[in-house]
RNA sequence: GUGGAAUUAGCUCAGUUGGUUAGAGCGCUAGUUUGUGGCACUAGAGGUCGUGGGUUCGAUCCCCAUAUUCCACCCCA
């Protein structure tokens, strides 16, 4: 094989595209119902934007970005996620002066240079959204409810919501101090990574998988128990709002989002069908991000959903996604004259909005029927010299074999026959 | 970045203890079948056995390297 896709990328083929289109359509529809509008941002940005916005200590920025210098000497990176670009756009276009909250959703590809495995690719797709300007927990719950509604509308039943609060800079500084105090006596026995984390980001020690560190983490003081009064009130507000909406959740003090900008609310939707990459969707609040990126002090919250992981989950839960046929009618022709007539009729029906096909392979009449059967087209019309002479033919419902007489000179009658008999499917 | 497994037709997979011309099922094209498809039967097309080296009289098979895929670690969507 001479050419194949680059590692970690893949083609999405016509035979599976309907699942993607369905998800895109439902996501857009649900977001729209909440007052979110679509935004489209560039695939690449200045590298600096991601170093600032995502955080230059994160793995994503440190070792996973596709970074290159363009011909003008600029350092450019393919986006590893969507939030940084959206925040840039929000600031750049003065969206603080729009009526608040400013709410946008997006459907993007993102790029991370990682080793490939189940549910993890180098180019992948995210549905995401951001809501700017609302400070209270109501918006947190509303954003989460978008996801539960989306999942429900897609027919997913088993996704599980986990929430946590990672506090604000104030309580986190205090909590880091408490954590270091807790870990200090046992530090010598911990793994190499955790020794580094102890200095830089003790929060990360909590989800270390090393058996010894894991045991220690189990009894570590919880950030949730050390939130400052404001953060505590916000978190209680969130759980109250979720309860009001009847959205079930688990409080998981172990959720520590890997991107630097999160504050207070963080959440995930997880599944156990996607291998170890069980996180279908992750998000949270980022109250300091807009200001840090050079805008005004505007709070924000958002999430990103891995579309590949989501679709794997759809598959694993055995959810059927219906496909509506684009082509309604196949016109089979028995002679050259009939074929000419068939092509003209097909063009005319398409102009009227009815999808149809006719032979392009020079096939025998019988082969045309076989083809029609294989493509699953719902209706068939046969044209021979007799039909053209009499201007009468029949439309056959391929499912039940029932044929309906039609008049070839009466196009609206043909269309009506197709549409009416559709009701009987 | 680290470790394990795999790679033979479009797809799913056999196979050769190293030996002429590498197989099956499905799919594809056509025929049986100018007057109604899915079934059946028949025929055909389709492979540098992932790629590059090495050992050998001879390699799809053994050895080395490399790429890709899958799984796991790390981290994330």
pLDDT, residue A357, reads 95
Asked whether residue A420 carries a pLDDT value surpassing 80, the answer given is: no
A60-64, A83-87, A286-290: least confidently modelled range: A60-64
Alpha-carbon distance of A36 to A131, in angstroms, equals 8
**A102 plus A236 within the same structural domain:** yes
Asked whether residue A328 carries a pLDDT value surpassing 80, the answer given is: yes
Closest C1' nucleotide to A6's CA: B68
A168-172, A301-305, A343-347: least confidently modelled range: A168-172
**A375 plus A241 within the same structural domain:** no
Q: Torsions phi, psi of A8, nearest 5?
A: 80, 5
Q: Is residue A333 part of a domain?
A: yes
Give the domain-ending residue among A257, A282, A316.
A316
Summarised one tens digit per residue, pLDDT across range A348-366 is 999 999 999 999 999 999 9
CB contact at 8 A, A87 and A295: yes
**A400 plus A258 within the same structural domain:** no
Query: What is the DSSP secondary structure assignment for residue A55, as one 8-state letter?
Result: I
Interatomic separation, CA of residue A6 and C1' of nucleotide B65, rounded (Å): 21
**A144 plus A119 within the same structural domain:** yes
| Nearest residue to A133 (alpha-carbon basis) of A303, A296, A304 | A296
With tokens 């969130």, the residue in question is: A238
Q: Is residue A9 part of a domain?
A: no
Q: Which residue is nearest to nucleotide B68 (CA to C1')?
A: A7
Asked whether residue A24 carries a pLDDT value surpassing 80, the answer given is: yes
Q: Is A386 within 7 A of strand B by CB distance?
A: yes
Q: Is residue A413 part of a domain?
A: yes
Q: Is A1 within 7 A of strand B by CB distance?
A: yes
In the structure, what pLDDT confidence band is assigned to residue A274 with cuts at 50, 70 and 90? low
Q: Is residue A383 part of a domain?
A: yes
Q: Is residue A184 part of a domain?
A: no
In the structure, what pLDDT confidence band is assigned to residue A424 with cuts at 50, 70 and 90? very low
Asked whether residue A317 carries a pLDDT value surpassing 80, the answer given is: yes
Owning domain of residue A406: 329-420
Q: Is A194 within 7 A of strand B by CB distance?
A: no
- The answer to whether the Cα torsion of A219, A58, A256, A161 is positive or negative is negative
Q: Is residue A270 part of a domain?
A: yes
pLDDT, residue A406, reads 93
Q: Is A162 within 7 A of strand B by CB distance?
A: no
Summarised one tens digit per residue, pLDDT across range A368-385 is 999 999 999 999 999 999
pLDDT, residue A3, reads 78
pLDDT, residue A307, reads 95
ipTM given for this complex: 0.87
pLDDT, residue A175, reads 86
The CATH number linked to A339 is 3.40.50.800
Q: Is A59 within 7 A of strand B by CB distance?
A: yes
Closest C1' nucleotide to A361's CA: B29
**A71 plus A163 within the same structural domain:** yes
Q: Is residue A223 part of a domain?
A: no
Interatomic separation, CA of residue A381 and C1' of nucleotide B29, rounded (Å): 24
Show Cβ contacts of residue A119 under 8 Å, excluding neighbours closer than 6 positions: A274, A275, A277, A306, A308, A309, A312
pLDDT, residue A2, reads 67
Domain total in chain A: 2
Q: Is A200 within 7 A of strand B by CB distance?
A: no
Protein footprint on strand B: which nucleotides are under 7 Å from a CB? 1-3, 27-38, 48, 50, 67-77
Q: What is the mean pLDDT of chain A?
A: 90
**A146 plus A67 within the same structural domain:** yes
pLDDT, residue A425, reads 45
Q: Is A176 within 7 A of strand B by CB distance?
A: no
Closest C1' nucleotide to A278's CA: B77
State the pTM of this model.
Answer: 0.91
Q: Is residue A220 part of a domain?
A: no
A38-42, A254-258, A280-284, A325-329: least confidently modelled range: A254-258
Strands A102-111 and A123-132: antiparallel
Alpha-carbon distance of A354 to A331, in angstroms, equals 12
Show Cβ contacts of residue A303 under 8 Å, excluding neighbours closer than 6 positions: A128, A129, A143, A147, A267, A281, A282, A283, A284
Q: Average of pLDDT values for A26-32? A: 98
**A350 plus A383 within the same structural domain:** yes
Summarised one tens digit per residue, pLDDT across range A179-225 is 888 888 877 777 776 777 777 777 777 766 666 777 777 788 888 88
Interatomic separation, CA of residue A179 and C1' of nucleotide B56, rounded (Å): 66
**A122 plus A239 within the same structural domain:** yes
In the structure, what pLDDT confidence band is assigned to residue A260 with cuts at 50, 70 and 90? confident
**A312 plus A333 within the same structural domain:** no
Give the domain-ending residue among A316, A344, A372.
A316
Give the domain-ending residue among A316, A346, A367.
A316
Cβ-based contacts (< 7 Å) between A 271-290 and strand B: 275-282
Closest C1' nucleotide to A403's CA: B36
The CATH number linked to A145 is 3.30.930.10
Q: Average of pLDDT values for A326-343? A: 94
Interatomic separation, CA of residue A2 and C1' of nucleotide B55, rounded (Å): 28
**A257 plus A401 within the same structural domain:** no
Question: Which residues on adjacent β-strands are paired with residue A383?
Answer: A333
In the structure, what pLDDT confidence band is assigned to residue A248 with cuts at 50, 70 and 90? very high
Q: Is A130 within 7 A of strand B by CB distance?
A: no
Q: What percent of chain A has pLDDT over 70?
A: 95
**A353 plus A416 within the same structural domain:** yes
**A312 plus A361 within the same structural domain:** no
């Amino acid at each position: 094989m001479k050419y194949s896709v680059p590692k970690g990328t893949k083609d999405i083929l016509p035979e599976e595209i309907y699942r993607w289109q369905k998800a895109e359509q439902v996501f857009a529809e649900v977001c729209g119902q909440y007052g979110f509008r679509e935004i489209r941002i560039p695939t690449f940005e200045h590298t600096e934007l991601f170093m600032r916005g995502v955080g230059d200590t994160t793995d994503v920025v440190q070792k996973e970005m596709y970074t290159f210098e363009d011909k003008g000497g600029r350092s450019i990176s393919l986006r590893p996620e969507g939030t940084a670009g959206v925040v840039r756009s929000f600031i750049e276009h003065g969206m603080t002066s729009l009526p608040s909250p400013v709410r946008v959703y997006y459907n993007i590809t993102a790029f991370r240079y990682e080793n490939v495995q189940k549910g993890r690719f180098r180019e992948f797709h995210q549905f995401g959204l951001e809501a700017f300007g609302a400070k209270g927990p109501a918006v947190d719950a509303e954003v989460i409810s978008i996801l539960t509604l989306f999942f429900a509308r897609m027919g997913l039943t088993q996704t599980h919501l986990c929430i946590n609060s990672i506090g604000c800079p104030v309580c986190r500084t205090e909590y880091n101090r408490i954590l270091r105090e807790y870990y200090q006596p046992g530090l010598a026995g911990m793994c190499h990574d955790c020794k580094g984390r102890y200095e830089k980001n003790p929060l990360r020690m909590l989800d270390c998988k090393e058996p010894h560190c894991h045991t220690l983490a189990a009894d570590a003081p919880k950030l949730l128990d050390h939130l400052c009064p404001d953060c505590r009130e916000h978190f209680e507000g969130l759980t109250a709002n979720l309860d009001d909406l009847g959205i079930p959740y688990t409080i998981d003090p172990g959720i520590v989002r890997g991107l630097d900008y999160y504050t207070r609310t963080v959440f995930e939707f997880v599944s156990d069908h996607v291998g170890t990459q069980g996180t279908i969707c992750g998000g949270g609040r980022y109250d300091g991000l807009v200001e840090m990126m050079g805008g005004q002090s505007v709070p924000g919250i958002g999430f990103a959903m891995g579309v590949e992981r989501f679709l794997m989950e759809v598959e694993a839960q055995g959810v059927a996604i219906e496909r509506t046929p684009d082509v309604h009618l196949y016109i089979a022709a028995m002679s050259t004259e009939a074929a000419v007539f068939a092509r003209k009729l097909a063009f005319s029906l398409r102009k009227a909005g009815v999808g149809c096909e006719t032979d392009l392979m020079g096939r025998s009449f019988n082969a045309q029927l076989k083809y029609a059967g294989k493509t699953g087209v719902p209706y068939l019309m046969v044209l021979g010299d007799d039909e053209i002479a009499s201007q009468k033919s029949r439309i056959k419902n391929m499912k039940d074999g029932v044929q309906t007489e039609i008049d070839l000179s009466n196009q609206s009658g043909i269309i009506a026959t197709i549409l009416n008999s559709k009701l009987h499917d």
